[in-house]
Amino acid sequence: MSTESHGAAVSTESHGAAVSTSTTRVVVHPDATAVAEATAARLLVTLVDTLSVRDVAHVVVTGGTVGIATLAAVARSPLAATIDWTSVHVWWGDERFVAAGDPDRNEGQAQQALLGSLPLPEENIHRMGAAGSFATAEEAAADYVAQITAAGTPAWDVLMLGMGPDGHVASLFPGHAGYAARGAESIAVHDSPKPPPTRVSLTLESIRRARRVWVVAAGAGKADVVARSLHGDLELPAAAVRGTQETLWLIDAEAAARV
């Protein structure tokens, strides 16, 4: 069961990205497991809907606890068998710039939780580059820009974001240069406060091209930044993300405690 709470008015002047008309809405679930299960169901239904009006759907997945738990819940769902996965493209909001096969890689965790069990053509899986394959995170970011461009710079149909207790999303951290980056789809991130320190991320500009942005978060440790973000504290990257059609915060009761 979920409880819909208020829809907050959306400011259109923040950070100079595309103006959005969508309203931020908050859906509160009892606990982290329910957030993951409900988000998985929402994702699958959205894919069914999207593929009834478009030939291809582009989904951006996230690392983090709730993000990976959501992918695992998709894998368990009987609805997964109703999707034509050859029409679904999978992208990442951010990646840890460590060697391929390192357990820290978001793509490896996603592969294990879901992607390995789906009939997804390899060419539909758009990974951010790993250390070893690329000399620098800058080169990996440039490669991701090229992948996005080659796909026609799609409007992401669903873009999921975990959120850190500091209000970061993807690998855009408060007070860091990456949060303010403009003019590119993907960037290198250094000195990340969350380990590992070197990462690749989508930019805020790229995130805000998404049709639907879903922020998934759970736990008391997120309550403060959830409240600050929803009150529009733009020091926090989480406060600046939104989709052109839909912005949803899918959170548990603990994370919603101060809203």
Residues that bind ligand 6PG (CB under 6 A): 62-67, 94, 96, 106, 162-164, 168-170, 194
- Comparison of 85 and 173: residue with beta carbon closer to ligand 6PG: 173
Minimal distance, residue 92 CB to ligand 6PG, in Å: 8
Minimal distance, residue 62 CB to ligand 6PG, in Å: 5
Minimal distance, residue 158 CB to ligand 6PG, in Å: 15
- Comparison of 129 and 162: residue with beta carbon closer to ligand 6PG: 162
- Comparison of 87 and 111: residue with beta carbon closer to ligand 6PG: 111
Minimal distance, residue 164 CB to ligand 6PG, in Å: 4
Three-state secondary structure string covering the chain: CCEEEEEECCCCCHHHCCCCCCCEEEEEECCHHHHHHHHHHHHHHHHHHHHHHCCCEEEEECCCHHHHHHHHHHHHCHHHHHCCHHHEEEEECEEECCECCCCCCHHHHHHHHCHHHCCCCHHHECCCCCECCECCHHHHHHHHHHHHHHCCCCCCCEEEEEECCCCCECCECCCCHHHHCCCCCEEEECCCCCCCCCEEEECHHHHCCCCEEEEEECCHHHHHHHHHHHCCCCCCHHHHCCCCCEEEEEEECCCCCCC
- Comparison of 63 and 174: residue with beta carbon closer to ligand 6PG: 63
Residue nearest to ligand 6PG (CB): 162
88 contacts 121 by C-beta, under 8 angstroms = no
Minimal distance, residue 101 CB to ligand 6PG, in Å: 16
Minimal distance, residue 174 CB to ligand 6PG, in Å: 12
- Comparison of 83 and 173: residue with beta carbon closer to ligand 6PG: 173
- Comparison of 24 and 62: residue with beta carbon closer to ligand 6PG: 62
- Comparison of 83 and 156: residue with beta carbon closer to ligand 6PG: 156
Minimal distance, residue 99 CB to ligand 6PG, in Å: 15
Helix axes 32-53, 65-76, angle to 10 degrees: 60
Nearest in space to 180 (alpha carbons), one of 201, 199, 152, 165: 201
